[in-house]
Structure 1
Amino acid sequence: MDAEETKDAIREFINNVDDEGLKKLWKFIYVDFEVVATEEDIKAIERGEQEIMNGELRRL
């Protein structure tokens, strides 16, 4: 499914959901949705913590 087909499927889903279902969906997206760190994120955080402990300072 390409991006345009995905958007169409989401629109169709939203158009067929009742008001209560939309409220639940909105709550899930904006309140309950949790972003999970990837392995790369964890490595970057660990590297940053180590740099802080070593007194290193890097500017982006």
Structure 2
Amino acid sequence: MNAAGSRHPCRILAPRAGSLPTWPQFLIQWEDQDASDASWVSLIELLQPILQLTEDRCK
């Protein structure tokens, strides 16, 4: 956790080659996790909150 108490990624470690043809995946390791808890997240998952916000504003 950072000073504000929100959870943010510590670092994006690497793209995951060949996992998805359209959306590359990135290994996200949260600052309060060790490397074994890191999780693969696709680009569309990272963008989903932004896309949802845009869609809601266009309604």
Q: TM-score range by the shorter chain?
A: under 0.3
Between Structure 1 and Structure 2, which shows a larger proportion of helix residues?
A: 1
**Which structure is larger by alpha-carbon Rg, 1 or 2?**
1
Using the size of structure 2 for normalisation, the TM-score is 0.27
Between the two structures, name the one with larger relative contact order (CA 8 Å, sep ≥ 6): 2
More strand by share: 2
